[in-house]
Amino acid sequence: MERVWITNGSTSIAPVVNSLAAACDGEYVPTDIYVLSNPVIEDVTEAATSLMKTIVTAHGGEEPSISVESIDDETDFEAIFEYVQSAIEAGDAAGSAVAVDITPGRRFWSIISFQAGIKNGVDHLFYSHVQTEAYFGECYPAIPRTAINLIDFTEVV
Amino acid sequence: MRVRSDHLTVLLNRLADRGDEQFVIEHPSLDVGELLRIELDRYDSSTVRFVTKGDEYESSRQAVARAHGEAVSKELPSASDFLKTVVASGILDVANQDEIKTFLDRYGDPDLMAGHSPVFAGFDTNLMSWQIDRVLGLHDPDSGVGYVNGFVLATGVRDELDWDYKCHNTDPYVDAFGESYEEFWNQTLGSARLGRLGLLTYRRIRDIEQAVEVQSDRGDAAIIDAYDEYDRENRSDIVLFSNDRNFVEDARAHRMLGQRVDFPGEFPRKTTASWREIERLLYLLAIVFGVIEVPGATVYGVWRGKDELDWQHERVKVDARSPKLEAKLQSDLSIVESYEELSVR
């Protein structure tokens, strides 16, 4: 079965990729990845998408297809909503499982993603919670398991 | 696979995933066996249990000497070096921690703006293997804070650490401790590895913390003279640390500030440690013992072909004994290493 991963960029790589690495460890290995970006964080997004391929293939998946959509104005709420909505629809149309990751980036991006995910009944709404600043900026395999928790909000809300 | 000491979290995580949150660190030899026991829990408070008493360990070492000869038994660290290794990992304090703190509160952290002289720390050779600058928290190069403004290193200390004898015949070690010792060919043996640890500390302080290096011959007298000369010629105060009473007395006789660093005589029954400290402990035990075992994996401190860069980057070799664990570790390391490359771009 195809598995979709919908996320967005951030000013650093770790929060963009850590939930994905945790999900892959939990055997949700995506086939299609959608990333929302903007011109300011373009370089980080590029590095993050490169690492996403490493993560998925390291977990035995085929190299995923990755679509990056960039919006010029980061507060263009309509464009943010459109992006999440159309990514979910693309997943649904293909009969894929759909996961939305609300961990990285701007808080209002997360809120919009969360709402779109709930409304559309996605399979997973992930958030990776790191317990301590001591491990900020580290990537998932290098963070003690007991210090990071991948929360699936479809199970708790 | 080669793993940097600060990436050993990957191994701990995979042990935890396998249900081995509680595991034993062992020496491959049946004579020695269990060294200590780890119970992985919170990142900042896991438990380390010391199951082997110093005298029990020392008698195992003597049994090895009787069965395989004195030279072979010297491959195993003394009980006291085993203990110092745990102190170096940050898990146990030095024995006179309070006394040292009082000393540093009194003489360290000078008020340079008020015209006080900067304070530099210097060391005796016997502390270098135990990364004492970090253990005592003398200086943090990243944040630029700590008790001292910098370091002075006498080259005599460096020369005293250079005892690089190597293993050219692995047979006696394989007979005594098992097959893993085949990896020791052309690698440093026993106490020479402690010397290497000391040299790594020396170079790290010299190169990363930009210490002043002063020329001296070997021997306490020459080393103290060199520190003293620097002290007199520069408007600074030097605090000298040693494990040896005589060295400290000599330093004081030269009107320098000397402080003895004393190591504990015995392990406690248990203590708490952070994951970072446990990683450090794994790395240091692998170097000091040469090879250690955890469930599902053998961790080599030295191995056939270990090179200068492996030493410098604090790499160990991890051989997973199960293909499943091996694949998971490989996959995690590929992610961690790619992440670091991408992050420094």
- Render pLDDT for B1-59 as a digit per residue (tens, 0 to 9): 999 999 999 999 999 999 999 999 999 998 899 999 999 999 999 999 999 899 999 99
Q: Does A17 touch chain B (CB under 8 A)?
A: yes
Q: Has residue B164 got a pLDDT over 80? A: no
Rg of chain A, C-alpha, whole Å: 14
- A88's CB contacts (< 8 A; 6+ apart) are A4, A6, A98, A100, A116, A117, A120, A122
Distance CA B175, CA B68 (A): 8
Nearest residue on chain B to A49, judged by CA atoms?
B342
Distance CA A75, CA A35 (A): 16
Which residue reads 């047979």 in tokens?
A: B171
The string over B294-318, giving b where at least 16 C-beta atoms fall within 10 Å of a residue's C-beta and e elsewhere, is bbbbbbbbbbeebeeebbeebbbbb
Question: According to the model, what pLDDT value does residue B141 have?
Answer: 65
Question: According to the model, what pLDDT value does residue B139 have?
Answer: 86
Of B13, B330, B345, the CB nearest to A144: B13
Of B43, B275, B339, the CB nearest to A139: B339
Three-class DSSP category at A136: coil
- % chain B with pLDDT above 90: 86
Nearest residue on chain B to A146, judged by CA atoms?
B42
pTM for the whole thing?
A: 0.94
Distance CA A114, CA A108 (A): 10
Query: Could you tell me which of B273, B265, B236 has the C-alpha nearest to residue B119?
Result: B236
User: Sign of torsion, CA B341 A25 A63 A12?
Assistant: negative
Distance CA B243, CA B131 (A): 13
Distance CA B305, CA B15 (A): 27
B315 forms beta bridges with: B4
Distance CA B39, CA B343 (A): 32
Of B275, B336, B345, the CB nearest to A141: B336
- B101's CB contacts (< 8 A; 6+ apart) are none
Least trusted range by pLDDT, from B31-40, B136-145, B289-298, B302-311? B136-145
- % chain B with pLDDT above 70: 98
Render B138-176 in DSSP notation, one character per residue: -EETTTTEES-SEEEEEHHHHHHT----B-S--HHHHHH
Question: According to the model, what pLDDT value does residue B166 have?
Answer: 87
The sheet with strand B297-300 has its strands ordered as B2-4, B315-320, B297-300, B291-294, B22-26, B34-42, B45-49, B270-273
Q: Where are the alpha helices (DSSP H) in chain B?
A: 9-17, 54-68, 70-73, 79-88, 97-107, 125-128, 132-135, 155-160, 171-177, 190-207, 220-233, 245-253, 275-289, 308-312, 323-343
Residues of A in contact with B41 (CB under 8 A): 146
Query: Could you tell me which of B58, B26, B3 has the C-alpha nearest to residue B292?
Result: B26
CA distance A89 to chain B (A): 30
pLDDT in tens, A69-108: 999 999 999 999 999 999 999 999 999 999 999 999 999 9
Distances (CA, A) of B276 to A55, A86, B5, B51: 24, 43, 10, 21
CA distance A142 to chain B (A): 5
What residue type is B208 in one-letter code?
Answer: I
Q: Does A63 touch chain B (CB under 8 A)?
A: no
Distance CA B78, CA B194 (A): 11
Question: According to the model, what pLDDT value does residue B143 have?
Answer: 64
Q: Does A47 touch chain B (CB under 8 A)?
A: yes
Distance CA B114, CA B132 (A): 29
Q: Does A24 touch chain B (CB under 8 A)?
A: no
Residues of chain B with a CB closer than 8 angstroms to some CB in chain A: 6-7, 9-10, 12-13, 16-17, 40-44, 275, 330-336, 338-339, 342-343, 345
Q: Where are the alpha helices (DSSP H) in B240-322?
A: 245-253, 275-289, 308-312
Distance CA B283, CA B320 (A): 16
Q: Has residue B183 got a pLDDT over 80? A: yes
Residues of A in contact with B9 (CB under 8 A): 141-144
Of B9, B332, B339, the CB nearest to A144: B9
Q: Has residue A143 got a pLDDT over 90? A: yes
Under 8 Å between Cβ of B313 and B3? no
What residue type is A109 in one-letter code?
Answer: W
ipTM > 0.85, yes or no: yes
Of A21, A134, A145, the CB nearest to B335: A21
Query: B345 pLDDT band (50/70/90 cuts)?
Result: low
A139 and B42 within 8 Å at the Cβ level: the answer is no
pLDDT in tens, A19-45: 999 999 999 999 999 999 999 999 999
CA distance A103 to chain B (A): 18
Residues of B in contact with A55 (CB under 8 A): 335
The alpha carbon torsion through A73, A75, A76, A78 (nearest 10 deg) reads 160
Interstrand relation of B34-42 and B45-49 (parallel, antiparallel or unpaired): antiparallel
